[in-house]
Each structure stands twice: as C-alpha cells, then as structure tokens.
Amino acid sequence: MKALCWNGINDLKVERVPDPYILNEGDAVVRLTMSSVCGSDLHLLDGYVPTMKAGDIIGHEFMGEVIEVGPGVKKLKRGDRVVVGSVLGCGSCEFCQSDQWSLCDNSNPNPEILEKAYGYAGAGIFGYSHAFGGYAGSHAEYIRVPYADHGAFKVPEGVKDEAAVFTSDAFPTGYMAADMCGIERGDTVVVWGAGGVGQMAMQSAYLLGAERVIAIDRYGDRLAKAKQYAKAEVLNYEEVDILEALKEMTGGRGPDRCIDAVGMEAHTTGMEQYYDKAKQTLRLQTDRPAVLRQAIMACRKGGTVSIVGVYGGLLDKFPMGAAMNKALTLRMGQMFAQKYIPKLLERVAAGEVDPSYMLTHKWTLDQGPEGYRMFKEKTDNCMRVVFTPSQ
Ligand SMILES: [Zn+2]
Ligand SMILES: [Zn+2]
C-alpha cells in the first residue's frame, strides 16, 4: 500500500510499504477514508519527539471502513464505518477501567523508553514515535487497529465524514481540556491556540457552562473562525499585551479557567521568544513554555490551568511561585479518547457542534509532503489538511 513516511526532520515521502494484517485476535484492519494532520505531528516533523525512525508512518486522527476483524472482536464487523481514537487502550487494565485511557498499562509495547524519561510509561499512540509504541500511523491506505472493540466507534448515520474525522482526536482533546477546567456557571475561559484543538476547546467550554470564551492566537483567519464558529472574543498576541488585556477584560480579576492548546513549540513576542528558541535549539530545555507561563500568570487566584498542548520534556523559567501562591489547580494529560468519543459523536449527530469547518484542505495522500508544508507554514488559511487515501 501507499503511505506517508517520516524520513528525518522536515522530510516526508510517500512510499510503498507492506499492507497491515491481523496480528492479535482483538485487531481490526481499517481502510482509511480520511486522515487528518494535527498540530502535534509538527513536533515529529521538527524533530522534538525522539525515537522516530526513518520509514515510520505518521498520522493519528482518522476514520475509515472496517475490512477485516480478528476472532476476538465482538462489536465490529466488515463494512462498519468507524472513527478511531488516536490513543490506544487495552480496556482491561486499572487505568482503562477507570476511563483514564491514555494511561493504559498494556498498549505501549516499548514501555522502557518512557519509564526512563517519565518514571512510568503511558499508552501507545498511533503514528507517534517508538517511545509511544511504534504503531504505524493513519496516513496510509490501510491501518491495523489493535484493541478495536475499545478504540473504534461506529459513526452514526447522517454524520458526514468531514465532521466525524475530528471526533478522533481534535474534538475529544479540546473537550477534555474544557472538562479538566471544572467550569462553573458564569466562568470566563481563555484558550491559547486557535487551531483544531483550541477551536474544539472553545466550543466545549460553552457546552460545559462557560459564559464567556476568549481566544488567543496570532493568525487572523484562525481568530476569525474562533469568533464565527466558537463565539469567542479574540486577542492577537502580536498586537496586544495579553496579561494586560485579560486583566482589563475581566474587571481586574483575571480569567477563571485557562487552557493551553499550544504546547512545546509555543511562540511569543520579544526577548522571551529568542530566549526560549535559543535554549531549545541548544537542548538546554526541550520545550518552549511561553504559553504555559502566560496562562499561569493570567489566571485568577484559585483558578484552573488545563494543559492539552503536548509537552515532551523539561521546561525553563516555570512560574511555580505564581501557581503555588495563587492556589491554582493545574490539570493536564494526553486525552482519554475512548471516554469522550461516543458522547461527542452523539453531540455531532444532534447538530450541537459541527467540527467540519476546520477542514480547509482535502487532498490525496500523494500530496502529503505538500500538505504538511502548508499546515506547518499556515499558508492559504490552512487549519486542517485531510488526506483521502482511498479515493
Ligand atoms: Zn493530535
Ligand atoms: Zn489499559
């Protein structure tokens, strides 16, 4: 089959690779109809996620048609139209049983790598390096889906592919960001990053009772979409001082809940950007925490900072004093796909949220390298490029 493979930093190629097959009894093989790019893929392209190997297939937000199931699969059959969560969970360990699927004890066959880095390893993730299990990703014609009964969900009739595909990753991640905030009626929620996950976090904040949502980014088209579709007030951090603006907008009190939907490659302005970029380049810090610093500083006393932007390693100049002395709650994690996807599919089917506006470019798999270039450089108002491998 054809697949989009990582070959090194900023080096993607469409290659011929062997077709996947049923390896374990709980596997399914899915023919991919849609596979989206995600902001966290850019960390792979930029070389900030170690343990990638030349030839690895990337991509983790996807949907398709089941073409084969292993003998242990009970809920799915050939021909089912499914969306698959980006994070793998076995369904039977204590973490999966308590709905904390990204902490699964069994779905990462290479735990020793993360055990060294983090103390304990979390779940495997499709197409996201050997540290996260070495699973082949979704930018391909076919994919093997382990633990298929737990991770693949039938798409309700009437939900179009363009909306369903984002319930794989962007929507559940954004929803979990809002859920972790512990939103109370009347709250003001600020979301840093108006990309796919940020847009979904904004809409989810309203679903969970927020009164007001404020979006921060530097791209006009993303802020315009945040305003139009997610009913957010918007701030461009290249034009205003974010801390001052947020203080002013909240009567001097500060926003109640702050969501970081950016992660380790945050951009900011002035000296801070040069400082972080230099330290990251020299490997004196692995991640650039400009957004996280801002969120902690901006948050009102006793508020919540919720982090779904991906971080990999170590941060510098982390304002721990502010977090401690303001009694902030910090919550974070890779998303619990299997916990949220069924509920979110229902919400999409009911017409409460339509994530399809995030799909700005629908391309063939052969256009993969070009699609990622565009997504990375954010040209042509690109928000999400979706590949259609079997069309
Ligand atoms: Zn993602
Ligand atoms: Zn598990």
Q: What sign does the CA torsion over 70, 73, 76, 77 have?
A: positive
| pLDDT value, residue 340 | 98
Q: What residues contact 319, with CB distance under 8 A and at least 6 apart?
A: 293, 296, 297
- Closest-CA residue to 258 (of 223, 209, 214): 214
- The alpha carbon of 251 and the centre of ligand 1 are apart by a number of angstroms equal to 35
- The alpha carbon of 60 and the centre of ligand 1 are apart by a number of angstroms equal to 6
| pLDDT value, residue 189 | 98
Burial level of 326, CB count in 10 A (0-12/13-18/19+)? middle
pTM for the predicted model, two decimal places = 0.96
Q: What residues contact 201, with CB distance under 8 A and at least 6 apart?
A: 173, 174, 175, 177, 178, 191, 259, 261, 308
d(CA 7, CA 137): 14
- The alpha carbon of 221 and the centre of ligand 2 are apart by a number of angstroms equal to 39
| pLDDT value, residue 271 | 86
- The alpha carbon of 15 and the centre of ligand 1 are apart by a number of angstroms equal to 23
Cα–Cα distances (Å) from 353 to 87, 176, 243, 305, in that order, read 22, 15, 30, 24
- The alpha carbon of 327 and the centre of ligand 1 are apart by a number of angstroms equal to 30
Tokens of 154: 């039938």
Residue type at position 114: L
d(CA 142, CA 30): 6
Q: Which ligand is nearest to the CA of 147?
A: 2
Q: Which ligand is nearest to the CA of 338?
A: 2
pLDDT digits (tens, 9 = 90+) for 317-333: 999 999 999 999 999 99
- For the chain, the residue count is 391
Q: Which ligand is nearest to the CA of 196?
A: 1
- Regions of the chain with pLDDT less than 50: none
| pLDDT value, residue 239 | 96
Q: Which ligand is nearest to the CA of 89?
A: 2
